[in-house]
Amino acid sequence: MRNEDLARAVRLREEGQGEQARQLLVELAQRHPGDAEVAYQAAWAHDALGLEAEAVPFYERALAGEGLSDADRLGAFTGFGSTLRVLGRHADALETFERGLKEFPGDGALRTFRAMALHNAGRSAEAVTTLLQVVAESDRAGGYAPAIAYYADHLDETV
Protein backbone atom coordinates (compact mmCIF):
# COMPACT_ATOMS: atom_id res chain seq x y z
CA MET A 1 0.00 0.00 0.00
CA ARG A 2 2.84 2.41 0.84
CA ASN A 3 4.47 1.99 -2.57
CA GLU A 4 1.20 2.46 -4.44
CA ASP A 5 0.28 5.55 -2.42
CA LEU A 6 3.75 7.04 -2.88
CA ALA A 7 3.66 6.43 -6.64
CA ARG A 8 0.18 7.98 -6.81
CA ALA A 9 1.33 11.06 -4.88
CA VAL A 10 4.35 11.56 -7.14
CA ARG A 11 2.13 11.16 -10.20
CA LEU A 12 -0.32 13.74 -8.81
CA ARG A 13 2.51 16.21 -8.22
CA GLU A 14 3.90 15.64 -11.72
CA GLU A 15 0.43 16.16 -13.20
CA GLY A 16 0.08 19.54 -11.48
CA GLN A 17 -2.23 18.38 -8.71
CA GLY A 18 0.10 19.58 -6.00
CA GLU A 19 -2.38 20.03 -3.17
CA GLN A 20 -3.75 16.52 -3.57
CA ALA A 21 -0.20 15.17 -3.68
CA ARG A 22 0.72 17.13 -0.57
CA GLN A 23 -2.27 15.84 1.38
CA LEU A 24 -1.55 12.24 0.44
CA LEU A 25 2.13 12.63 1.31
CA VAL A 26 1.38 14.19 4.70
CA GLU A 27 -0.85 11.20 5.48
CA LEU A 28 1.86 8.80 4.29
CA ALA A 29 4.48 10.59 6.39
CA GLN A 30 2.26 10.23 9.45
CA ARG A 31 1.89 6.50 8.80
CA HIS A 32 5.61 6.07 7.98
CA PRO A 33 7.48 8.64 10.13
CA GLY A 34 10.88 6.99 9.61
CA ASP A 35 10.59 6.64 5.84
CA ALA A 36 13.16 8.94 4.23
CA GLU A 37 11.70 8.58 0.74
CA VAL A 38 8.21 9.56 1.87
CA ALA A 39 9.64 12.49 3.83
CA TYR A 40 11.62 13.67 0.79
CA GLN A 41 8.58 13.52 -1.47
CA ALA A 42 6.52 15.36 1.16
CA ALA A 43 9.16 18.08 1.38
CA TRP A 44 9.21 18.39 -2.41
CA ALA A 45 5.41 18.64 -2.56
CA HIS A 46 5.41 21.44 0.01
CA ASP A 47 8.18 23.31 -1.80
CA ALA A 48 6.37 23.02 -5.12
CA LEU A 49 3.39 24.77 -3.54
CA GLY A 50 5.50 27.57 -2.05
CA LEU A 51 5.14 26.15 1.46
CA GLU A 52 8.84 26.30 2.27
CA ALA A 53 8.51 26.56 6.05
CA GLU A 54 6.29 23.47 6.11
CA ALA A 55 8.83 21.59 3.96
CA VAL A 56 11.66 21.99 6.50
CA PRO A 57 10.77 19.18 8.93
CA PHE A 58 10.23 16.79 6.03
CA TYR A 59 13.66 17.61 4.57
CA GLU A 60 15.20 17.11 8.01
CA ARG A 61 13.59 13.68 8.33
CA ALA A 62 14.59 12.71 4.79
CA LEU A 63 18.24 13.56 5.34
CA ALA A 64 18.34 11.98 8.82
CA GLY A 65 16.87 8.72 7.56
CA GLU A 66 18.20 5.96 5.37
CA GLY A 67 17.02 4.52 2.11
CA LEU A 68 17.15 7.47 -0.29
CA SER A 69 18.72 6.80 -3.65
CA ASP A 70 21.79 8.91 -4.41
CA ALA A 71 19.72 11.03 -6.79
CA ASP A 72 17.05 11.66 -4.16
CA ARG A 73 19.64 12.36 -1.45
CA LEU A 74 21.29 14.91 -3.75
CA GLY A 75 17.86 16.39 -4.49
CA ALA A 76 17.11 16.59 -0.78
CA PHE A 77 20.32 18.50 -0.05
CA THR A 78 19.68 20.84 -2.97
CA GLY A 79 16.03 21.40 -2.13
CA PHE A 80 16.59 21.78 1.61
CA GLY A 81 19.46 24.24 1.20
CA SER A 82 17.45 26.24 -1.31
CA THR A 83 14.44 26.26 0.99
CA LEU A 84 16.52 27.47 3.92
CA ARG A 85 17.99 30.22 1.72
CA VAL A 86 14.52 31.37 0.63
CA LEU A 87 13.48 31.45 4.29
CA GLY A 88 16.41 33.77 5.05
CA ARG A 89 18.27 31.11 7.02
CA HIS A 90 21.51 31.68 5.11
CA ALA A 91 23.92 30.12 7.61
CA ASP A 92 21.76 26.99 7.80
CA ALA A 93 21.55 26.90 4.01
CA LEU A 94 25.33 27.11 3.70
CA GLU A 95 25.77 24.34 6.26
CA THR A 96 23.31 22.15 4.34
CA PHE A 97 25.10 22.79 1.04
CA GLU A 98 28.45 21.98 2.67
CA ARG A 99 27.05 18.68 3.97
CA GLY A 100 25.73 17.92 0.51
CA LEU A 101 29.04 18.75 -1.14
CA LYS A 102 30.85 16.36 1.22
CA GLU A 103 28.69 13.57 -0.17
CA PHE A 104 28.49 14.89 -3.74
CA PRO A 105 31.71 16.85 -4.29
CA GLY A 106 31.73 19.05 -7.32
CA ASP A 107 27.99 18.84 -8.04
CA GLY A 108 27.22 21.88 -10.18
CA ALA A 109 23.68 22.44 -8.92
CA LEU A 110 24.69 22.26 -5.25
CA ARG A 111 27.57 24.64 -5.90
CA THR A 112 25.31 27.06 -7.78
CA PHE A 113 22.67 27.12 -5.06
CA ARG A 114 25.46 27.49 -2.49
CA ALA A 115 26.68 30.53 -4.45
CA MET A 116 23.26 32.13 -4.10
CA ALA A 117 23.37 31.55 -0.34
CA LEU A 118 26.90 32.97 -0.22
CA HIS A 119 25.65 36.11 -1.93
CA ASN A 120 22.73 36.38 0.51
CA ALA A 121 25.19 35.96 3.40
CA GLY A 122 27.21 38.94 2.15
CA ARG A 123 29.96 36.86 0.59
CA SER A 124 29.39 37.94 -3.00
CA ALA A 125 33.00 37.64 -4.18
CA GLU A 126 33.07 34.00 -3.08
CA ALA A 127 29.70 33.49 -4.78
CA VAL A 128 30.95 34.90 -8.09
CA THR A 129 34.13 32.83 -7.86
CA THR A 130 32.04 29.69 -7.37
CA LEU A 131 29.80 30.53 -10.31
CA LEU A 132 32.80 31.20 -12.56
CA GLN A 133 34.26 27.82 -11.57
CA VAL A 134 30.98 26.07 -12.35
CA VAL A 135 30.80 27.76 -15.77
CA ALA A 136 34.45 27.03 -16.56
CA GLU A 137 33.90 23.35 -15.77
CA SER A 138 30.73 23.14 -17.85
CA ASP A 139 30.36 22.64 -21.57
CA ARG A 140 29.03 26.22 -21.90
CA ALA A 141 32.32 28.10 -21.59
CA GLY A 142 33.47 27.34 -25.09
CA GLY A 143 37.04 28.40 -25.81
CA TYR A 144 36.91 30.76 -22.85
CA ALA A 145 37.09 28.04 -20.18
CA PRO A 146 40.78 28.68 -19.35
CA ALA A 147 40.24 32.43 -18.98
CA ILE A 148 37.08 31.98 -16.91
CA ALA A 149 38.85 29.47 -14.67
CA TYR A 150 41.77 31.87 -14.24
CA TYR A 151 39.53 34.77 -13.27
CA ALA A 152 37.58 32.60 -10.85
CA ASP A 153 40.71 32.73 -8.67
CA HIS A 154 41.77 36.26 -9.69
CA LEU A 155 38.43 38.05 -9.78
CA ASP A 156 39.74 41.42 -8.62
CA GLU A 157 42.91 41.41 -10.73
CA THR A 158 43.40 44.41 -13.00
CA VAL A 159 46.36 45.76 -14.96
> 117 Cβ partners below 8 Å, 6+ apart?
81, 84, 85, 90, 93, 94, 97
Angle between helices 70-86 and 108-120 (to 10 degrees): 10
**Residues 96 and 127 reside in one and the same domain:** yes
Boundary of a domain, candidates 68, 94, 116:
68
Share of the chain above pLDDT 90, in %: 97
Give the residue numbers spanning the domain of 48: 1-68
Residue 16 has pLDDT above 90, yes or no: yes
Closest CA to 27 of 64, 72, 58, 60: 58
**Residues 80 and 141 reside in one and the same domain:** yes
Structural domain count of the chain: 2
**Residues 27 and 79 reside in one and the same domain:** no
Boundary of a domain, candidates 68, 92, 107:
68
Note the pLDDT tens digit of each residue in 119-144. Answer: 999 999 999 999 999 999 999 899 99
Note the pLDDT tens digit of each residue in 45-81. Answer: 999 999 999 999 999 999 999 999 999 999 999 999 9
